[in-house]
Structure 1
């Protein structure tokens, strides 16, 4: 990096030149000249760990002085920068001072998202007059779209905008969508005012109202989806992996990140869901819009203290170059392995000779590009195995809620909205995060020798097992619910509290599966595609929703007809939702077997040491 020198550096430059001339006049070998300790500041920062005196021949490195090392230790060594593009100072940027603000931001965004999403299936049935299967598929499409948009956000973040700009832009889109939804519900959809409570349907919506509803909800999907992978990676960017203390904090950050998600959704799943279930949809949507706006303000307030990484350019181009080059060279004879090594550094191995640049990139790619593609390809089998779990997870927002509405939702004189049962999922997540970090990690670290207790792949495997158990329990509850059905058009007498175990098991599985996924895909993704790694977790949820749509459609077409209501009819009392749950449990068992084979086969990414890189920074005088 070229230093920006002020007039105060003139004395230093003169001393350097004089010493260098003296050295040249007294030594026949200019490349062996050494100078006294040199300290150069660039914009207030020491920008090198080793000083280089450059002649027309190969540079000679000098070890840093004690003063230099002390000042360099105040600067991050992972390449992160402050907002002005200078090396980030540890005491003034990043770490928990910034990540806590991002956690609060994420909690508020999540509160807004679940304020709309968790009860949306009920809104579709009561306000837009959709039946059970149609509403379940609409929710799956919308949720799937939320997470498929995460790929767009990750691409823009890694390639062009950077994480900070990406988060800011998509949050603005998100807030706009929530405001439009609130206005559309207020003036066009919730008619008469207060309709949409339990057992009370609204007037048929106008075409303009329906159009604005879908426009706003998919703007929410676009904004939230693009924001999600970038905020996770941006939060982890606030910790320097080369600092042991910050590296430990970075591991803890992902657990707290998922904790923030569930704390944020706790308010939505209790207070907002209750008022929305009573017909106060407009109020619920406006509260969600206010939470999202507050999150955006907090995010912008932290701007001076964030650490940033420069976008690395279009990763798709680099990946495509590897495949094109491989295709064009597939007949080439592979040379001996010792001939495949590149010469490290910016200079030729031969003194006085300029280094020749690569030829056509479509014909020849660097080893780094090839390894980047190999890392992504190796992660894909693991990622594909997580999709079935996402099918299981998405039932909590659709069929679990529809199942709950056909149960006894009264506890004494108090009415429990079926959608608010997801609070037990949140409480389970909060409890199991604490149990995992305080109990399981110490025990498993002693047994396995791994300081993290379980590896990311092991945790994801546990999540698959617990998710499968949740489907078995949900199926058993449905069997018991059907036994207690009186009149065909009346709810079962079975209490909705019987759903607590299935929600709690889903929450426990999330702690192992999704926290493990975040750490795995973020840690195993190459540096140039970090946000893409985080987006794989979101894309898994997206495809899980689309696979759920396909399964519901296939099951309905195969089981309904010839006067048969099918497994998931409009009236669940005449269906067999239990069989659908057991089908998902069977699919999870098959998926688990495939996952174990893929996890055993997988070999982790190997990265170059940052310590070696830190000794190669050059000051140009």
Structure 2
């Protein structure tokens, strides 16, 4: 019979744990993969334009066929976010007439809040709305926030009058004008919090980890994801900053608003091709909390039982794997599956399945990796602050009277990433795969470790270059002439920017994939939010270090390491300090990495 003969083939093509937009089972041949991820990243296959209205796609799984077309939600979001954050201090000290100190405080506060809000967005997605709906509503909120920012910069009633000609007399904005602006700005931060962790997780969901080819493509997805993100950043830093500084702030905020609207339409066009992951069991946050509560309640009992599975509530399903064994990590949590009294009433707050316990262990073992990457977040913070300040004092001429804007130097990080990611994906991975046999070439923690090492080298090079800049400034007699240009080319900064970009290819992309892949299946958005929080906390740590050093070095009328006169400052000392802290962090990271149990290894233990 024809139907029965084809049935095994259909079953093999079905993707477990996923449905289409109507809730029906999905197949690999008609959904997911690069065909769906292209709508999300914003990289389109060659023949999509001729077929987009038919909603019928016939693509190969060859990611080399990408080209940049309409903006996907990720490229558009990064385009908008960096178009605001990279130049916000200029707007606050310019059209809004804030002092430099007040503007810096407001920018740092906004960036810190924006870096932590993805934890809220991930919680909402994983517990309630799901990723697709959260992305949709966050994109609408993004358009709203950017639209209100455009109005605040365009309408005369929503911004203060310009300063008087050739004077420093500037009328203060009204409370309503300030309130309207910051309401718009924090709407963008809230939208970013719901957008950032879920778009990437939803894109990775389009690849089935149980299929060898799609699992290999998923690793490439994280590379090309960061490639697209850096592409959006480069365009933003060059195009939007120029528009804002030379044409109009209203236009500079309006362009990303329009870009987000177009990207939302593109995202919706892919609705029929997406795979939507099914929720399994109870709320993942409650499930993890139950383990810790049960382990605390059973702390006086045995650390294991011979028949743990018979104790678990019948309506609980933590993972899709059989539940038998237990990993050797965090054995105290095994008490959650071993109640003190076997005759006591069984409930999920007093006895848990071993699958539940292993999920809790999975989350707990992320903590050492997260902590030992925080100084990497400190290094990341320097690229947008002191690296730029260094460049502002150096020769930046490129001929014909054109000078490189200091903030634009950040694009060299993104450009190096854009240049290296194809080499990494097409040369490095196949070459290392031949030796290791791993689909990704190296393990996730090995990739992150290489990136951390490169970040140390980047800070060492930055310290050496800054020390040389100070020598040149002293030899030229510019120690007390901070407004004069130091006769040293800005291209001396290029190595530290390139090294930092290389470290991003390994560490940042590796961290993205690690915190997506190594969390329980129901908490993947939260995993990516934890990854993002590394940079938020890293920024706070950087600010704390600067405050402490400022207080210590200026005691007894001493010269600050961060003096407004950079020719008397000592950024080189600060870079050496960060390099030393990064080296210590790398050592701790290597120590904890040796004991890390990957999710697939943990599941093998459970199946024994």
Question: Where on the TM-score scale, by shorter chain, does this alignment land: which range?
Answer: 0.7 to 0.9
8 A Cα contact 1:171 1:227, kept in partner: yes
**Mean Cα displacement is larger for which, 394-403 or 121-130?**
121-130
1:564 maps to: 558
* Residues 1:311 and 1:494: Cα distance change in structure 2 (over 3 Å): farther
Whole-Å separation in 2 of the counterparts to 1:310 and 1:339: 29
1:109 maps to: 77
1:88 maps to: 26
The equivalences for 1:368-517 within 5 A come to: 368-412=355-399, 413-485=401-473, 486=478, 487-517=481-511
Whole-Å separation in 2 of the counterparts to 1:74 and 1:358: 43
**Mean Cα displacement is larger for which, 208-217 or 327-336?**
208-217
**Structure 1 residue 578, shift from structure 2 partner:** 2.0
* Residues 1:123 and 1:563: Cα distance change in structure 2 (over 3 Å): farther
Whole-Å separation in 1 of the counterparts to 2:378 and 2:508: 13
1:22 maps to: none
**Structure 1 residue 567, shift from structure 2 partner:** 1.5
Alignment pair present for 1:99 and 2:37: yes
- Describe the superposition over 1:540-591 as per-residue Cα deviations: whole angstroms up to 9, x where unpaired: 1111111112112212222224433411233434322222222111110110
**Structure 1 residue 141, shift from structure 2 partner:** 3.2
**Structure 1 residue 114, shift from structure 2 partner:** 1.2
The equivalences for 1:14-29 within 5 A come to: none
* Residues 1:134 and 1:547: Cα distance change in structure 2 (over 3 Å): farther
Higher RCO, Cα 8 Å, sep 6+: 1
Alignment pair present for 1:597 and 2:571: no
**Structure 1 residue 243, shift from structure 2 partner:** 2.5
1:118 maps to: 86
**Structure 1 residue 499, shift from structure 2 partner:** 2.1
What is the aligned counterpart of 1:248 among 204, 216, 240? Answer: 216
Whole-Å separation in 2 of the counterparts to 1:183 and 1:416: 30
What is the aligned counterpart of 1:317 among 281, 286, 296? Answer: 286
* Residues 1:318 and 1:201: Cα distance change in structure 2 (over 3 Å): farther
User: What residue ranges of structure 2 are gaps of 5+ in the alignment?
Assistant: 43-71, 316-342
1:257 maps to: 225
Whole-Å separation in 1 of the counterparts to 2:233 and 2:503: 17
Whole-Å separation in 2 of the counterparts to 1:201 and 1:504: 42
1:296 maps to: 264
Match of 2:534, SS? helix
8 A Cα contact 1:118 1:419, kept in partner: yes
**Structure 1 residue 232, shift from structure 2 partner:** 0.9
**Mean Cα displacement is larger for which, 471-480 or 460-469?**
471-480
* Residues 1:149 and 1:133: Cα distance change in structure 2 (over 3 Å): same
**Structure 1 residue 335, shift from structure 2 partner:** 4.7
- Describe the superposition over 1:33-67 as per-residue Cα deviations: whole angstroms up to 9, x where unpaired: xxxx998xxxxxxxxxxxxxxxxxxxxxxxxx533
TM-score, normalised with respect to structure 2: 0.81
1:577 maps to: 571
* Residues 1:395 and 1:207: Cα distance change in structure 2 (over 3 Å): farther
Whole-Å separation in 2 of the counterparts to 1:478 and 1:166: 45
What is the aligned counterpart of 2:542 among 540, 548, 551? Answer: 548
**Structure 1 residue 531, shift from structure 2 partner:** 1.3
Whole-Å separation in 2 of the counterparts to 1:209 and 1:578: 41
* Residues 1:365 and 1:385: Cα distance change in structure 2 (over 3 Å): same
1:184 maps to: 152
Match of 2:123, SS? helix
1:224 maps to: 192
1:52 maps to: none
8 A Cα contact 1:161 1:311, kept in partner: no
* Residues 1:326 and 1:335: Cα distance change in structure 2 (over 3 Å): closer
- Describe the superposition over 1:498-551 as per-residue Cα deviations: whole angstroms up to 9, x where unpaired: 222221111111000011112212111111212112222111111111111211
2:69 maps to: none
What is the RMSD of the two structures over their aligned residues, measured on CA atoms?
3.1
* Residues 1:584 and 1:427: Cα distance change in structure 2 (over 3 Å): same
What is the aligned counterpart of 2:524 among 530, 534, 556? Answer: 530
Whole-Å separation in 2 of the counterparts to 1:391 and 1:117: 18
Whole-Å separation in 2 of the counterparts to 1:367 and 1:539: 29
**Mean Cα displacement is larger for which, 163-172 or 182-191?**
182-191
Whole-Å separation in 1 of the counterparts to 2:487 and 2:169: 23
Whole-Å separation in 2 of the counterparts to 1:582 and 1:116: 31
**Structure 1 residue 125, shift from structure 2 partner:** 4.4
- Describe the superposition over 1:393-447 as per-residue Cα deviations: whole angstroms up to 9, x where unpaired: 1221222223323333332211211111111111110122122223322332233
User: What residue ranges of structure 1 are gaps of 5+ in the alignment?
Assistant: 1-36, 40-64, 348-355, 613-621
Structure with the greater alpha carbon radius of gyration? 1
TM-score, normalised with respect to structure 1: 0.80
Say how many residue pairs are matched: 537
- Describe the superposition over 1:337-387 as per-residue Cα deviations: whole angstroms up to 9, x where unpaired: x3334499979xxxxxxxx99822211112222111100001110111111
8 A Cα contact 1:131 1:570, kept in partner: no
1:71 maps to: 10
8 A Cα contact 2:96 2:160, kept in partner: no
